[in-house]
Structure formats: structure tokens, C-alpha cells
């Protein structure tokens, strides 16, 4: 391999390293999901997640934002942008573009009878991300909406309390399913993950797009 080719590969890998950041926490969560879940289902969910992020990227490009990096950590995928001065309407568009792509593929899957797992993955991901919990898209969209029509400080307080309450509710439901119905601990783990993510996303003036 020539010197120029080697330099090009080095430059390219450096670019990927700077644009895509994968934390050990993400690898741990992915390994955990693959071990306790079905790898085929996980594959469809990951595909739906990639298309979901593609929706956010498309919206970001549409309003002139350039991506600083895509970080994959224990809270999922987080997009960060260079220009931060967006209007609340643009924030709303950015947040809803990911779930919109999921529901677009749900519609296509129903119309053209595509793989049911592909449909289910998009449906679940779309609904899940629209939950009014920070740092999910639904929570950030509600925050942008309330900030625009009301007050950013109060909107932040309302969203913080709402996020923790819903996460605690999901955790307690999961605990009940696990203890009373002898069900799998998935809902309990999801609730705890939501609670942890909500508590980690308390800085409402700088939350990345998920």
C-alpha cells in the first residue's frame, strides 16, 4: 500500500473517530441486550434506530445545522450540532423528525406487507421516543413547545418533574410485572434506564437530539 493511500485511510479513520464516539457504556448495553434478547429482533431495532437518526440528520441539514458528532452511550444515540441558536420551532422539527421517519416506515410496511419485525421495530421506536420524558424526543419536543408558548424556565421544571414521575411509574410497573406476574425484568430495566437518563439530562439548555 502506497504512502498516500495509508495517509488517506489514517485521515478517514480520524474523521470517523471525531464524528462517531462510542462509549464503553453503549457497548455494555448492546451486549446486555444481545445476550438477554433475540439478536434478530435486536438487528431490526438497530436498523430502525439508524433510520430514526437519519431522520434527525435530514432535518438538521434542512435547517442548516452541521453535525459535530454522533455519540453512542448508555442513553442511546445523541446527535450534537455546531450551531446552537435554533428557534423553538426548529427544535420541534428536529425532535419530531426521528419518530416521523419511524411512522413513515410503519406506513410503508403496512401498505407493502414488509417484514412484521421491521414494522414492529419502527412502531415501538416511534412510540417510545415520543414519550414526554427528557431526554427522549417527545420530552424535548414538549419542552420546545412549552418554552415557545410559555416560559423556558417553567417548561424545564415541568419536564424534569414529569420525566421523573413517568420513569418511576414505568419502574414500579416493571417491578410489579417482575415480582407479581413472574414476568421478564425488561420493563423494570427500561424504567430504571429512563430514570437514570432523565436525572442525567437535567441541563435542559443543552440537550442533544436522540
Q: Which residues of the chain form contacts with Zn ion (CB under 5 A)?
A: 98, 137, 210
Chain centre to alpha carbon of residue 5: 36
H or E segment and range at residue 78: strand 76-81
135 forms beta bridges with none
Rounded to a whole number of angstroms, the minimum distance from the CB of residue 59 to Zn ion is 10
| Nearest distance, CB of residue 173 and Zn ion, angstroms | 23
Residue whose CB is nearest to Zn ion in the complex, by number = 98
Residue 122 or 210 with smaller CB distance to Zn ion: 210
Least distance to Zn ion, CB of residue 6, Å = 37
Pairwise CA distance, residues 125 & 55, whole Å: 13
What is the C-alpha to C-alpha distance for residues 200 and 165, in angstroms, rounded to an integer? Answer: 15
| C-alpha–C-alpha distance, residues 78 and 154, integer Å | 25
Q: How far is the CB of 210 from Zn ion (least distance, A)?
A: 4
Contact 73, 64 (CB under 8 A): no
Amino acid at each position: 500500500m502506497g504512502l498516500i493511500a495509508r495517509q488517506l485511510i489514517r485521515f478517514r479513520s480520524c474523521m470517523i473517530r471525531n464524528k462517531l464516539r462510542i462509549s464503553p457504556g453503549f457497548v455494555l448495553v448492546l451486549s446486555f441486550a444481545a445476550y438477554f434478547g433475540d439478536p434478530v429482533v435486536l438487528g431490526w431495532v438497530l436498523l430502525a434506530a439508524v433510520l430514526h437518526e437519519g431522520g434527525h440528520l435530514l432535518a438538521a441539514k434542512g435547517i442548516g445545522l452541521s453535525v459535530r458528532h454522533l455519540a453512542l452511550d448508555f442513553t442511546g444515540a445523541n446527535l450534537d450540532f455546531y450551531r446552537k441558536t435554533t428557534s423553538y420551532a426548529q427544535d420541534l422539527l428536529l425532535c419530531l423528525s426521528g419518530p416521523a421517519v419511524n411512522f413513515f416506515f410503519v406506513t410503508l410496511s403496512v401498505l407493502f406487507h414488509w417484514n412484521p419485525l421491521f414494522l414492529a421495530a419502527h412502531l415501538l421506536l416511534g412510540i417510545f421516543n415520543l414519550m414526554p420524558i427528557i431526554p427522549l424526543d417527545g420530552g424535548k419536543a414538549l419542552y420546545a413547545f412549552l418554552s415557545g408558548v410559555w416560559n423556558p424556565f417553567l417548561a424545564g421544571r415541568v419536564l424534569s418533574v414529569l420525566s421523573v414521575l413517568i420513569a418511576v411509574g414505568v419502574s414500579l410497573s416493571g417491578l410489579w410485572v417482575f415480582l407479581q406476574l413472574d414476568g421478564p425484568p425488561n420493563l423494570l430495566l427500561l424504567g430504571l434506564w429512563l430514570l437514570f437518563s432523565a436525572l442525567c439530562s437535567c441541563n435542559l439548555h443543552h440537550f442533544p437530539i436522540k
